A and B are shown apart, each in its own frame.
Chain A
């Protein structure tokens, strides 16, 4: 099979034929082609550049990538259930995007720094973020939840695309560190990955981050998960050309990769990180994938898209194709898949157990963390709060059953 596929061949719908024709008309040339190494049929293809990187994905590594994808999908199911049961205020499901996240996350090295948006639970998993800690934000007990210094995985950013600039600045810091280190005869090669989506690609900060990254040749990989839907708005409202083509305008490579092909995503990301670490500058990767579920647990996709489209994408499932390949090549047996399932269930049980135990913080911690250094207004308001609460019996605010209006307390 061919490995550089026009997106139309991948989608195979009349709508996308039209989009492709539009893009060609706008650009005066055919749109970007897509790197795919493992197709939905479970057959391995060839790419003149990326097959060399894909060969590093040994059977053992591939089994690991599969296990990661299965684990995070199981986690996603569990978190969705926790939200439905009132244990989380909101959940942001990732199902469908496992290959894009696990493939890219596993291509990173510990010294690399990752700036996620807010759906990168799979990347978090590859960076050893405790998934129970990741749920703190969605349970409403923290606006962060983990210490980025432990894993080089930054906090989620909810104001879209703001983190792409942080990523470029961080990469500019790495450049300066490398100069200082080189002067001392040592060197720590590192790069940064900035995740964002097709919706966020319209934000001005993405433009500015690409301008800065290009101007300073910063070691940053822009990883755009084009999951086709920005809540209810389809990608063609954000762009008339494949997003990866935009890199050309900034003067660095842009690659569209089959985001449901974990081997290709891993290979392309490894290539891009190597490119960045070697001082060759930024890369834009557009992982062509699909948000199979809702935007969040508060969303209703039936209002804006047809289930037939979802079904078409389920046929390109990132896990199914790896399973097909592993079984066909005799690289994994029933026992392996049973073990993966059992491990996933164990992870889900751990997350369920620990979610219940996630502590509600004392608001005093919010007073303490507003500023890093002492601030008289914060001190004054905290003192007032202490005095106010001390006026109640036991020194605590009156207990309120959750969900009850304050006025009913005590009645």
Chain B
């Protein structure tokens, strides 16, 4: 066991990948000598050279598009998109090309491209630097979407993403980059399924599902609820596509109440999909409607008011109150 931040865990995971797989390479803006704007690739260019850690021209479609070509040639590119809001110039390449290549080739071609995107708010930044666009990608068949919430998962999931034959987008909770945690770098971590949800805290009265940056918030809310005598189960989804409905449904069958929390706007979001599926799968277990906690239907607001926008402990507790009031 080693203690490290999420950023360092991803860095170590990438180092491990580059060292063990000669076909892997990193691509992105400012990921070389600077180590990326969040320093996630710090030191890697010195160790592996500019052919493996590639500072690209400032063009996101170019990054994704050339990564597709490299993958077709047998390489394993890991692309860094500098900020969530900057992925959209590459959206066409991701949705019309990357996601569909395997299907349209009738399974003859694989494009194992990994795209790392720091996402979410809470860092007091300027516009386009705090968004949570994961639902837009989850809606696209052919992509896999994962989002680690802790250092251990970050270390392993980035390596597992590179090994996957499908394209994988890793949404990295940027405001948690400096969150420290224990990382077990020994082999068993590799055996954990990156597409499976984890029950982080057991409970009997209600379930809170969260992912990425809101996982620590959900845990804190559950702890606060416990002081009021409520036993809350917390699930870290870890993967958004595929989404582990089995784990969520099993929990709801036990607790009868479900709150889903994410930073992304609730309308058309992952929470709605979970609510619909769980309504079908656990209808007779539900004591209350599934309650969603999330962002509002507005462009991500200016930094000075983002605290009013972002779900926090109180917003999750309020949702739990509503769920428990039925």
User: A interface vs B, CB < 8 Å?
Assistant: 113, 142-144, 147-149, 154-155, 157, 159, 162, 164-174, 176-177, 179-180, 204-205, 208-209, 211-212, 215, 365-366, 368-373, 375-378
Residue of A at shortest CB range from B52? Answer: A176
Q: Interface residues of A: mostly helix, strand, loop or mixed?
A: helix
> CB distance A376 to B242 under 8 Å?
yes
B62 near A170: Cβ-Cβ < 8 Å: no
B19 on interface, CB distance cutoff 8 Å: no
Q: Does B285 contact A (CB under 8 A)?
A: no
CA distance A373 to B106 in the complex (A): 14
In the bound complex, do residue B73 and residue A170 qualify as a contact, i.e. CB atoms below 8 Å apart? yes
B64, B92, B107: the one contacting A372 at CB < 8 Å is B107
Which of chain A's residues have a CB closer than 8 A to the CB of B164? Answer: 373
C-beta contact mask, B93-112 vs A, less than 8 Å → 1, else 0?
A: 10011001011111111101
The interface bits of chain B over 243-266 (1 if a CB of A lies within 8 angstroms of the residue's CB, else 0) are: 111100000000000000000000
Q: Are B103 and A370 in contact (CB under 8 A)?
A: yes
Tell yes or no: B204 within 8 A of A by CB: no
Which of chain B's residues 63-94 have a Cβ closer than 8 Å to chain A? 64-75, 77, 89, 92-93
Task: Find residues 228-242 in chain B having any chain A CB closer than 8 Å to their own CB.
Answer: 241-242
Question: Quick one: closest A residue to B108, CB to CB?
Answer: A147
Bound complex: CA A376 to CA B22 (Å): 31
Q: Are A168 and B69 in contact (CB under 8 A)?
A: yes
* Residues of chain A lying within 8 A (CB to CB) of residue B102: 369-372
Choose among A168, A173, A375 the residue with the greatest number of B CB atoms under 10 Å from its CB: A173
Residues of A near B227 (CB, < 8 A) are none
A165 touches B69 (CB 8 A): yes
Let me know if A172 and B106 touch, CB within 8 A: no
Closest 4 CB pairs of A and B: A169-B69, A165-B65, A173-B73, A169-B66
Q: B123 near A: Cβ within 8 Å?
A: no
| Residues of chain A within 8 A of B89, CB atoms compared | 204
Query: B66: which of A113, A149, A172, A371 is its contact (CB, 8 Å)?
Result: A172
Tell me whether B223 is interfacial, beta carbon within 8 Å: no
Q: Does B185 sit at the interface, judged by CB under 8 A?
A: no
Query: 7 A-B pairs, CB-CB below 8 angstroms?
Result: A144-B104, A149-B108, A164-B65, A165-B66, A166-B68, A211-B62, A371-B142
User: How far is B104's CA from A156's CA once the two chains are assembled, in angstroms?
Assistant: 10
Q: Is B279 engaged at the interface, CB distance under 8 Å to the other chain?
A: no
CB-CB under 8 A from A368, the residues of chain B are 107
| A155, chain B: closest CB distance, angstroms | 6
Interface residue B302 (Cβ < 8 Å from any Cβ of A): no
CB neighbours (8 Å) of A208 from chain B are 57, 59, 61-62, 65
Q: Which residue of A has the minimal Cβ distance to B71? A: A169
| B51: chain A residues within 8 A (beta carbon) | 176, 179
Q: A162-B96, A165-B62, A208-B57 are in contact. Are A372 and B69 (CB under 8 A)?
A: no
CB distance from B32 to the nearest CB of A (A): 13
Neighbouring B residues of A377 by C-beta, 8 Å: 241-243
Q: Is the CB of A168 within 8 A of B110?
A: no
Nearest-neighbour CB distance to chain B for A27, whole angstroms, equals 25
A148 engages B109 (CB within 8 Å): yes
State whether A147 touches B105 (Cβ < 8 A).
yes
B276 at the A/B interface (Cβ < 8 Å)? no
The answer to whether A173 and B75 have CB atoms under 8 Å apart is yes
Are B105 and A155 neighbours in the complex by a CB distance under 8 Å? yes
Query: Given that A162-B92, A162-B93, A162-B97 are known contacts, is A369 also in contact with B106, CB under 8 Å in the complex?
Result: yes
CA distance A170 to B70 in the complex (A): 5
Nearest-CB distance from B81 to chain A (Å)?
15
With both beta carbons as reference points, the residue of chain B lying nearest to A368 in the complex is identified as B107
Contacts of B112 in A (CB 8 A): 372
Distance A27 CA – B13 CA, assembled complex (angstroms): 51
Across the interface, do A176 and B75 meet the contact criterion of CB distance under 8 Å? yes
Q: How far is the CA of A180 from the CA of B70 in the complex (A)?
A: 15
Cα separation A148 to B107 with both chains bound (whole Å): 11
Given A143-B103, A159-B96, A165-B65 in contact, is the A212-B57 Cβ separation under 8 Å? yes
In the complex, chain B residues whose CB is within 8 Å of the CB of A165 = 61-62, 64-66, 68-69, 93
If the complex has contacts A162-B92, A165-B62, A169-B68, are A143 and B97 also in contact, measured as CB distance less than 8 A? no
Apart from A166-B66, A205-B93, A372-B110: 18 A-B pairs, beta carbons within 8 A:
A142-B106, A143-B100, A147-B106, A148-B109, A154-B72, A155-B105, A157-B97, A167-B69, A169-B69, A169-B71, A369-B102, A370-B141, A371-B102, A372-B112, A372-B165, A376-B242, A376-B245, A376-B246
A170 touches B242 (CB 8 A): no
Give the docked Cα–Cα distance between A216 and B57 (Å).
Answer: 10
Contacts of B144 on A, CB cut-off 8 Å?
A: 371, 375
Question: Does B172 count as interface, using CB distance less than 8 angstroms?
Answer: no
Residue B166 is within 8 A (CB to CB) of chain A in the complex: yes
- A376 CA to B197 CA in the complex, in Å? 13
Instruction: Select which of A144, A169, A366 is within 8 A of B72 by beta carbon.
Output: A169
B96-146 contacts to A, CB under 8 A, are 96-97, 100, 102-110, 112, 141-142, 144
Known contacts A368-B107, A372-B165, A215 near B142 by CB under 8 Å: no
Measured CB to CB, the closest approach of chain B to A162, in angstroms, equals: 5
